[in-house]
Amino acid sequence: MEISALQKARYHYQPKLPAIFSEKTEEIAVSFGEATGSIADSEALAELFKLSYGKPIACFVKGKNEKITRPLIVGVILSGGQAPGGHNVIAGLYDGLKKGNKDSVLLGFIGGSSGLMEDRALELTEEIINKYRNTGGFDIIGSGRTKIESLEQFAASLETIKKRNLDAIVIIGGDDSNTNAALLAEYLSARGSNTRIIGCPKTIDGDLKNEYIEASFGFDTAAKTYSELIGNIQRDAASARKYWHFIKLMGRSASHITLECALQCQPNLCFISEEVEEKKLSLGQIVEQICSSIIKRAANKENFGVVLIPEGLIEFVPEMKKLIKELNELMADDGAEITGMTDFNRQTQWLDSRLSRESSGLFKTLPPEIARQLLADRDPHGNVQVSLVDTEKLLINMVKKKLKELKTQGTYSGKFSPLAHFFGYEGRCAFPSNFDADYCYSLGFTSFVLIASGLTSYISSVRNLTAPVDKWIPGGIPLTMMMDMERRHGSSKPVIKKALVDLEGKPFKSFAEKRETWAAETCYQYPGAIQYYGPPEVCDQPTKTLMLEHS
């Protein structure tokens, strides 16, 4: 297969590692802190995780660790959506295993957790690993969204573990995948298995983070990739001077990507779902904010602009949240009946008698194409797939209608030519930035040390990320420490709590201080392409979010 010049160059990039990993492998020891608790629901979680709850935080120090050089057989799983840097986690894990003992073996389970349950694995060799170093995607072994949930699935996993004689499994995924990792670790321990389970924090949405997981990998690259595209559109808008661009960005539950892109690019408007929910902003109020900016800019003969919208925005608008909740419940009980209706008017009539008066009225006011999207197939949790709802087009439709009213009243005389965009898959498999290449490689190497030191039910952690790489602090955080209990499908389930945008945090406050100026004036920034080579202040910087949080 022919490869690009950039791909060849990225193969040869040597990721940097924290200073502790420059020691001889057998001189990297583990130091433990105090016992930990969960962020909430400690009694319920202690009961569920009898053998793994309350473990201490693990740090690496210089000292004797004779266990670390034993030969190991380790499995690795990529779980959930793709994120830039996953290949480097596997490369760091592989290199750590081989540094510990050249006879160690790394098996990649094909297609996510189903590969473990069905015993589909590939031995990852130097030749294979070298083809994927510093590249985007999860194509080395593929990913999947199947979770190990039923007793049969747990039993099938244990069968593969025994058959393969696995010493450990590393599960690379987001909050749900790492919750699943904790459940698997507990299941194995309860059955006398010595196989260790280590998680690794992945998601471009940036919502798997806390004091000890400062960033989930892939967020840095995805945000920079989207920011490059937004900057290109802003340059075009400022050149053509006649289009309003409405750009929807990844992030269902949290708006971290949208906020980071706003900090990078300084668009005219940016909506943060968490603030919309906090202030209980209606669709009408959101439209009024957009129209206010359009009118101010038209007065300066600037009939162009850029609006950033998080993917999950509509679920945070109170009246839309109520409608979606009611629709989810109806679809769960009578989904086959309503999807079996081919006529949209019949569907609307059917819903009219089952939705609340407010929700039925709102549903009827939505453009038909948006209303149909709200009735589309649900995700595995039974929720509407918000990425399939054209929120950007809904807002364009409502803004057009409002501006038409204002023109009739004589309070607006500008031109409004809107264009809609959705940046999603463009960022999930990009070549990882230098930051993500280094961070992921460090997470993989950290996973090896945790495994080789005999730890289980931990997530790989690398902290102090705004410092140079050699000053990064690797270690392990108990998975149960990040959990609480949530109601899902009518029952309480353990989950790793999603980190939403903190409206009192420095990143949001920095944005909020400037947005009034951005709404009226053209203050665009153009981040340009991700730079892999050049001065450190260009190519090695972390996100503005991280820099503000740690300033």
Q: Is 169 helix (H, G, I), strand (E, B) or coil?
A: strand
Instruction: Please pick, among 95, 175, 176, 205, the residue that the annotation labels catalytic.
Output: 205
Please, are residues 80 and 113 in contact by the beta-carbon 8 Å criterion? no
Please, are residues 261 and 223 in contact by the beta-carbon 8 Å criterion? yes
Report the candidate in 462, 456, 463 with the shortest Cα–Cα distance to residue 479. 456
Cβ burial of 495 (10 Å; 0-12, 13-18, 19+) is middle
Calculate ∠ Cα 142-148-151, nearest 5°: 150
Question: Domains in the chain, start-ordered, CATH in brackets?
Answer: 19-218+432-488 (3.40.50.450), 229-428+505-549 (3.40.50.460)
**pTM to 2 decimal places:** 0.95
Residue 396: which residues within 8 A CB-CB, separation 6 or more? 246, 418, 420
pLDDT per residue as tens, the chain (551 positions): 688 888 888 999 999 999 999 999 999 999 999 999 999 999 999 999 999 999 999 999 999 998 999 999 999 999 999 999 999 999 999 999 999 999 999 999 999 999 999 999 999 999 999 999 999 999 999 999 999 999 999 999 999 999 999 999 999 999 999 999 999 999 999 999 999 999 999 999 999 999 999 999 999 999 999 999 999 999 999 999 999 999 999 998 999 999 999 999 999 999 999 999 999 999 999 999 999 999 999 999 999 999 999 999 999 999 999 999 999 888 877 767 777 787 888 888 889 889 999 999 999 999 999 998 998 877 766 677 877 899 999 999 999 999 999 999 999 999 999 999 999 999 999 999 999 999 999 999 999 999 999 999 999 999 999 999 999 999 999 999 999 999 876 689 999 999 999 999 999 999 999 999 999 999 999 999 888 888 888 888 899 999 999 99
Phi, psi of 489 (to 5 degrees): 55, 40
Which residues on neighbouring strands pair with residue 345, listed in sequence order?
none
Catalytic annotation on 436? no
